[in-house]
Amino acid sequence: MWVFLQPLTPHLWLTTGAFFVLTGVIVWLIERPENKEFHGSWSKQIGVIFWFGFSTLVYAHSKYCSYMPILSRFVVTVWVFAVLILTTSYTATLTSMMTVQQIRFNFNKNQEASMTGLGTSEEYAKFLLNKTVTFVVDELPYLKVLLGENPAKFFMVKAQCTTNGFGFMFQKGDELVPKVSREISKLRTKGRLNEIAKRWLEIPLPYTADDTSNPITLDRFRGVFMITGVSSAFALGVLLIHWLRDRWECRVNSLSWFYPVNWFNIFLSQGLVHLRILRTIHPSPLDDPISENAVQMVQSNIRSILNTSAHVLVHESIA
């Protein structure tokens, strides 16, 4: 029933879900100031975060990355690349598991009808090559001898137990039991058992295959998650720099009149204007057309008054 959960280990499932949510949060932080799709109540915004993150399994949401397209699309592109690798590996592992289960089912169904008695490794190889039998069941040392005599022709299902080989039977309570067990444990710890097997059987392990597909662990995808995490951290750093810059500009503009440097600049500019050095920066009233017309009217009135006064003086002198 829960076979679809088997291709990934629980740690990998949890890590993948956390990165889905993390991607949604980062894109929400980037897009929220200007993108109306990320506005609304807190419940709606939380829903958008989860929906955006998990829906990257289907499409990349390029139309929503409008405010900072480079930064948003960078985060989404890296995560979609990681999702592609995860989904491909998940599909391959699940397919392998289902195939192995089908093979087991067919074997159990036709087990009694396909049994044939064989005695030597030569018979094993002959019947396997002409497809009289599909597989051979025997003790592990004999199977290793068969693989050593016919390299790259057959493969062996990997055994799950760690004490491969022949077993030894003793009477109950025999003093040799703990001694033999202790010596075998020492040989296995020191690697002597592997050396003996390689020396006498000369069969490398790559000719064996496992009967089950192991689930994908977190260690195999540590590099993918590392790349995704570094890209997300980079996006958060760029976003933080933009935010600090905007806050700094607002603070400087609001407190500009309280800085002594600004008062000194204002005093210096007024002094230069008084000395007619910064006339281009602070133009005179004559540079304004309206002010220039007013000045011309005043000057014309003064001329008319002066002309009238001069005319009166001349008239009085003649009289």
In a domain, 187, yes or no: yes
- The pair phi, psi for residue 311, each rounded to 5°, is -65, -40
Whether the Cβ atoms of residue 71 and residue 235 lie closer than 8 Å to each other: yes
Spatial separation of the C-alpha atoms in residues 217 and 215, rounded to whole Å: 6
Do 166 and 222 belong together in one domain?
A: no
Do 78 and 227 belong together in one domain?
A: yes
Do 91 and 164 belong together in one domain?
A: no
Do 232 and 100 belong together in one domain?
A: yes
**Structural domain boundaries, residue 129:** 112-209
What's the confidence (pLDDT) of residue 95? 80
- The pair phi, psi for residue 209, each rounded to 5°, is -135, 150
Residue 78 burial (CB count, 10 A): 20
In a domain, 52, yes or no: yes
What's the confidence (pLDDT) of residue 203? 53
In a domain, 319, yes or no: no
Q: Where in the chain does DSSP place strands (E)? A: 156-157, 208-209
In a domain, 318, yes or no: no
Do 180 and 96 belong together in one domain?
A: no
Whether the Cβ atoms of residue 245 and residue 36 lie closer than 8 Å to each other: no
Do 84 and 149 belong together in one domain?
A: no
What's the confidence (pLDDT) of residue 276? 44
H or E segment to which residue 70 belongs: helix 69-109
Do 73 and 197 belong together in one domain?
A: no
| 209 three-state secondary structure | strand
Task: Give the predicted TM-score (pTM) of the model.
Answer: 0.48
Closest among 115, 167, 170, 103 to 140, alpha carbons compared: 167
Spatial separation of the C-alpha atoms in residues 154 and 129, rounded to whole Å: 9
Question: What is the pLDDT of the chain when averaged over all its residues?
Answer: 71
In a domain, 11, yes or no: yes
Do 191 and 235 belong together in one domain?
A: no
What's the confidence (pLDDT) of residue 101? 56
Give 76's contacts (C-beta < 8 A, 6+ positions apart).
23, 27, 56, 60, 61, 62, 65
In a domain, 305, yes or no: no
Tens-digit pLDDT profile for residues 287-312: 445 555 555 665 666 566 555 654 54
Do 135 and 205 belong together in one domain?
A: yes
Spatial separation of the C-alpha atoms in residues 70 and 189, rounded to whole Å: 56
Q: How many domains in the chain?
A: 3
Phi/psi-derived region of residue 276, left when phi > 0, alpha when psi is between -120 and 50, beta in every other case: left
Give 288's contacts (C-beta < 8 A, 6+ positions apart).
none
In a domain, 311, yes or no: no
- Specify the length of the chain in residues: 319
In a domain, 308, yes or no: no
Closest among 94, 201, 74 to 148, alpha carbons compared: 201
Closest among 302, 13, 290 to 4, alpha carbons compared: 13
Query: From the centroid of its chain, how far is CA 243?
Result: 23
Do 100 and 153 belong together in one domain?
A: no
Whose tokens are 């807190």? That residue is 42
Whose tokens are 């999702």? That residue is 83
Q: Please, which residues bridge with residue 209 across strands?
A: 157
Do 98 and 223 belong together in one domain?
A: yes
pLDDT block averages, 10 residues each, the chain of length 319: 79 90 85 74 82 74 58 84 88 76 51 66 84 78 79 68 63 81 81 76 51 71 90 87 79 57 50 44 47 56 58 47
Spatial separation of the C-alpha atoms in residues 25 and 54, rounded to whole Å: 11
- DSSP code string of 223-278: HHHHHHHHHHHHHHHHHHHHHHHHHHHHHHHHTGGG-HHHHHHHHHHHHHHHTTSS
Whether the Cβ atoms of residue 114 and residue 134 lie closer than 8 Å to each other: yes
Spatial separation of the C-alpha atoms in residues 319 and 313, rounded to whole Å: 10
Do 197 and 71 belong together in one domain?
A: no
What's the confidence (pLDDT) of residue 280? 43
What's the confidence (pLDDT) of residue 14? 92
